[in-house]
Amino acid sequence: MAIDSRLLEEELAGLDALDLEEDKPVDRLAKVWSALWPKLAAVFLAVAAWQLTVWSHWRPEYVLPSPVRVLGQLGNLLGEGEFYRAIAITLRRALTGYALAVLVGTLVGASVARVRPLRTAVGSLITGLQTMPSIAWFPLAILLFQLSESAILFVVVLGAAPSIANGLIAGVDHVPPLLLRAGRVLGASGLRLYRHVILPASLPSFVAGLKQGWAFAWRSLMAGELLVILANRPSIGARLQFARELSDAPALLALMIVVLLIGIVVDGVFNQVDGHIRRRRGLTAGA
């Protein structure tokens, strides 16, 4: 053999080693802390501002209670069986509605992205639907389904599905042409090109759509639960409405905190998934 293969191998290995970054040891605790403290500081500032407003007597205590009273009320709620039933019902509605929205959004998104005439016909309609405030759907929903679970579900699905469809469409539209070419060179076409190249390439955009879809679903659900109150179906929205009717400010604020917390937790889950996908593809600045 004319070329000294062993020498070449050593040189390549040397270059490779020089090219790769060294693995830095990560201090997990420090990492968690650096992610956590700004959030804790933000919570502290918000609570402090709230407390200062209370102390300024801008509104009487029975309208704007102090953080301590609201936290106490939150504690009471957490000890109450009925409260968990309400959360369970609300979350079940959220999950059912969201699951349906994912199904509808994905089907619509996939067909619109693939079929050109459908694209021109409904592409902009979907974006239009996305800007429609979900509360505007309720009169129609109530006409169609009366005051029922279906009315709530209808609006949740309509609120969330357009974002999900749009995320998928945008993802398919923005698959890098080079990767499409690479896929075709390797012999993928039609469905196989979809499965091995187009869908994986559009995943980050799809996840962004899923996340936005969740936010819309959650908002629509809260609007729905305030409007559509069903007998024997306690829910977070219904309890919020009752708290307002009874002028029970501490309970009202405690419930709002619950709504906020659920939103934050789910958002955190989506961010984890999103971050994971991006890190694996080297799409993050720090990776």
Partner 1 sequence: MTLTVEDLVSVAPAVGINAVSKAYGRGPDAVRALDRVSLDVRAGEFVCLVGASGCGKTTLLNLVAGLDSPTLGTIDTGGRRTGLMFQEAALFPWLTAGANVELALELRGVRSRTERREQAAELLERVHLRGAADQRPHELSGGMRQRVALARALAQDAEVLLMDEPFGALDAMTRDLLHDELERLWSTTGLTVVFVTHNVREAARLGDRIVLLTSRPGRVAASYDVDIPRPRRIESREVAALAADVTDRLRSEVRRHGH
Q: Which residues bind partner 1 (CB under 8 A)?
A: 1-3, 5, 8-9, 11-13, 15-16, 19-20, 178-179, 181-182, 184-188, 192, 196-197, 200-201, 203, 277, 280-283, 287
Report the residue number, 1 or 26, with the smaller CB distance to partner 1. 1
Report the residue number, 19 or 245, with the smaller CB distance to partner 1. 19
Tokens of 268: 């955190």
Q: In angstroms, how far is the first alpha carbon of the chain from the final one? A: 41
Q: For tokens 């936010």, name the residue.
A: 215
Whole-angstrom Cα distance, residue 53 to residue 170? 44
Report the residue number, 40 or 283, with the smaller CB distance to partner 1. 283
Cα–Cα nearest to 257, from 239, 270, 269, 242: 239
- Using CB atoms within 10 Å of the CB of residue 156, give its burial: 0 to 12 exposed, 13 to 18 middle, 19+ buried: buried
Q: Residue 73 CB, nearest distance to partner 1 (Å)?
A: 47
Report the residue number, 56 or 189, with the smaller CB distance to partner 1. 189
Whole-angstrom Cα distance, residue 100 to residue 154? 10
Secondary structure class of 66 (helix, strand, coil): coil
Contact 103, 219 (CB under 8 A): no
Q: Residue 178 CB, nearest distance to partner 1 (Å)?
A: 5
Report the residue number, 26 or 185, with the smaller CB distance to partner 1. 185
Q: Residue 187 CB, nearest distance to partner 1 (Å)?
A: 5
Q: Residue 32 CB, nearest distance to partner 1 (Å)?
A: 24
Q: Residue 171 CB, nearest distance to partner 1 (Å)?
A: 12
